[in-house]
Chain A
Amino acid sequence: MKLEALQGLVHKTRDARRQQTIPKFPPNERDTLIKKYHPDSRENAYRPIKFGPNAGELTVRELAALLEGDSPVPADLDLTPTYSVDVLVIGGGGAGSAAALHAHAHGAKVLLATKLRLGDSNTVMAQGGIQIAITSEDSPVQHFLDTLKGGHMKNDHTLLKTMVEEGPSIAKWLLDLGVLFDRDPDGNLHVKKGGGSSKPRLLTCSDYTGLEIMRVLKDEVLNQQIQLLEFSAAVELLSDGDGTCTGAILQDLDNKRFVVVAAKAVILATGGIGRLHIQGFPTSNHYGATGDALPMAYRIGAKLLQIDTFQYHPTGAVHPEQLVGALVTEGIRSEGGHLVNANGERFVNELDTRDVVSSSIIRECEEGRGVRTTTGRLGVWLDTPLLDIEHGPGTLEKHFPAMVRQFKRYGLDITKDPVLIYPTLHYQNGGVQIDVNGESGVRHLFVAGEASGGLHGRNRLMGNSLLDLMVFGKRAGTTAAERAKAMKHGKLTLQHLARFRAEARKHSGALAVRSPMLFPDYVRKE
């Protein structure tokens, strides 16, 4: 049967489904569901890390190999610096740009290095919005509690309180830079409700929130004439031999040469790990999302946190094939879109947390209630036309122009027909352990954004990543700049790397791959 024919059931059952309310799972059922179906619960996908700061702890095999992998940097590299700066920011997405702008504003000489172009990141793709508690029915405390609940109570309280409290001032900063958030008729910022949140608190720029923010930040980095090195990937950190970070080694991707940077502080803002395709999952992430911060920070001695938990966004496209893994924004579910199995039934409260919704979709597919695509993939329906029926014609076009456009390119009209979705690897919940200023366990080494860990617990709420990277990009940038004022450059050595390699040689299978990975290998070889 053709997909077009199978869609018929979604149209046919729509009216009956609209009468239904699906309750959220009670806590114990929710835990059972996650334990049985969430990819984080698949034991054979995990193994203990053999050595280093997280020795013995479990993580996914793909990441473990990179953490135990070898640096491309030769032990005898000439460490005469090409650049000497106060603050080196590694990564040119939201966190890196925010960190660079704040460090610059605090008087630091900043160098921003990124392996693709400034702005090429996951931030630019963020569709859902940024969570900030601004309405009178809402409060930072409520934001804190919602996030804690969503994170299975495993969030770092101090980081989380800092994030929610600084949210409103971040919104002001972005507005002052010219970011155009959606407004209510009275001029106040419009808020939408996101999955797992008890109050509407998502600020949005239609479904281009990340694009709008990134466009502005990028423009501002250029306006401030912050020194920029594009197509320059960080491959190793430098230390003074005494556990303090003193710079980094970049690799110029055009000529493959190593570039040594001396820095009083280094801020890692390299984003997440989607392109590792953990457990074979497709991903919503950008091309460079290979978790570069993790092996680099690990080798210099920083402790990682909650690297056994990842977010699989419930609604990644599975059809057409060209869009596999691409995100269908949660906003569609926020505005009432139903998830529908092959029998035309709803099976989960669509606004439950992402881990719950993803687990339930996997359950439907594993129990034979999924729909098979032409290319053999399984998925369930997301009833998009329902939005226009529920809220009036033109709703999708107006609220989700990016989504409508994305499918239209392949001849699919989501205002008329539902789309097929399946969970896609979306976010690294954990990362490098940081303090409230974004500093890792290694002195003068800061981490901001998705690369850091602790804030989101074991599941991130929609809209919290944009806020996370703004708040901790700012704090890392500001702290690094202030600190740089009162200090000199440290000694540049690779002693940490020598120690790491010596330790690795005691373990069979270590140093087997080069890390950081930098890019996924999609090039076909024959």
Chain B
Amino acid sequence: MDVKEFDKNVAIDQDEALRPKMVTVEIAGKKHEVPEGITVIKALWYTGQEVIRGAGCLGGYCGACATYYRTKDDPKVRTCLACSTAVEDGMSFTMVPPFPARKATYQLSELKDPKQDLFNLYPETPLCRNCNACTEACPQGIDVRDGVWRAVFGDFKAVSEMFMDCVMCGLCVPVCIADIAPNLVAVYASRAQGAFFTEKPKRLHERIEEIRQGKYDQEWDKILTMNEQQIKDVCAAIK
């Protein structure tokens, strides 16, 4: 089967597919026509807007492109990451500017009682009023409210696991009526979990010691004094 024929067999009605269907969206209050299904951030570019504040990894990991949006006729305003959400007809959206949340600064290694220190660093944490707005605002689907309470009750392990997906977009912060920054509380709790409440990995420390004591020096001497062909042969023999 030649390439052309093959393509004809598997191609899916390409002419149709390549002609984009246009939809109407409202960006920060202004209507625009954009191709259906492109991402929110591409819709911004498509309508001629330069995005610097609000574009980061473009892969859903960095949280730079936090966005509020609403779909046609739905009163509910939702949140998303602009790089990872497709536009649809009738959608309205606006990127969220950075919110001036307070980050506590601390010397991790100098903390004496990290679970108690949480209340000095972020004293607002136990004032959560259970409105659940943070959970609803999270584009990653994290149960943020529950995470805040787990931090308060000292279950830092659970917090670290729940917030492993957190991209620090900060959408949970402006909605909080108790002025908690749940994402920052979670980073603190996770780091404390790692630094204070997780077993020291024995094998790693042994390896550091072995290297320090020169366990591999002989092997290095052998490898590094080989000529090009010899070392090539050694590498070729690796399974």
Contacts and interface: CB of A to CB of B under 8 A. Distances in A.
**Binding partners A and B:** yes
Nearest to B87: A322
A177 interface: yes
A525 B231 CA distance: 54
Nearest to A190: B201
Contacts of B52: 116, 231, 253, 519
Interface in B193-219: 193-195, 198-205, 207-208, 211, 216, 219
Interface string B8-46: 011110100110000000000000000001110010011
B48 interface: yes
Interface residues of A, number: 91
Interface centre among A133, A218, A284, A524 (most CB of B within 10 A): A524
A220 B195 CA distance: 13
Interface in A167-208: 168-169, 171-172, 175-180, 183, 187-189, 198, 205-206, 208
B12 A2 contact: yes
Given A175-B194, A180-B198, A372-B11, A286 B45 contact: no
Contact of B58 (A117, A139, A153, A287): A287
Given A116-B56, A212-B164, A526-B48, A286 B17 contact: no
A405 interface: yes
Contacts of A371: 10
B129 interface: no
Given A188-B204, A206-B164, A406-B84, A121 B57 contact: yes
Nearest to B47: A524
Interface in B60-88: 60-62, 64, 84-86
Contacts of A157: 224
Interface stretch (B104-112, B130-138, B146-154, B173-181): B104-112
Nearest to B12: A374
Contacts of A376: 11, 14, 17-18
B50 A141 contact: no
A180 B160 contact: yes
B62 A120 contact: yes
Interface in A366-387: 366-369, 371-376
Given A141-B219, A206-B164, A523 B50 contact: yes
A327 to B, nearest CB: 7
B9 A1 contact: yes
A177 B195 contact: yes
Contact of B199 (A179, A183, A326, A373): A183
Interface residues of B, number: 82
A102 B53 CA distance: 28
Interface string A1-27: 111001000000000000000000001
B234 A145 contact: yes
A161 interface: yes
Contact of B191 (A120, A177, A401, A523): A177
Interface string A131-152: 0011110011100111011000
Given A120-B64, A141-B216, A253-B52, A368 B2 contact: yes
Interface of A: 1-3, 6, 27, 116-117, 119-122, 124-125, 133-136, 139-141, 144-146, 148-149, 153, 157, 161, 165, 168-169, 171-172, 175-180, 183, 187-189, 198, 205-206, 208, 210-212, 215-216, 218-220, 222-223, 225, 231, 253, 284, 286-287, 320-322, 326-327, 342, 366-369, 371-376, 401-402, 405-406, 409-410, 519, 522-526
The 5 closest A-B pairs by CB, nearest first: A178-B191, A178-B194, A187-B199, A120-B56, A149-B235
Given A121-B62, A180-B190, 14 more contacts: A120-B64, A134-B204, A165-B211, A180-B198, A222-B105, A287-B56, A322-B38, A322-B84, A366-B3, A371-B10, A401-B164, A409-B60, A409-B84, A525-B48
Interface of B: 1-3, 6-7, 9-12, 14, 17-18, 37-39, 42, 45-50, 52-53, 55-62, 64, 84-86, 103, 105-109, 140-141, 160, 164-168, 187-188, 190-195, 198-205, 207-208, 211, 216, 219-220, 223-224, 228, 231-232, 234-236, 238-239
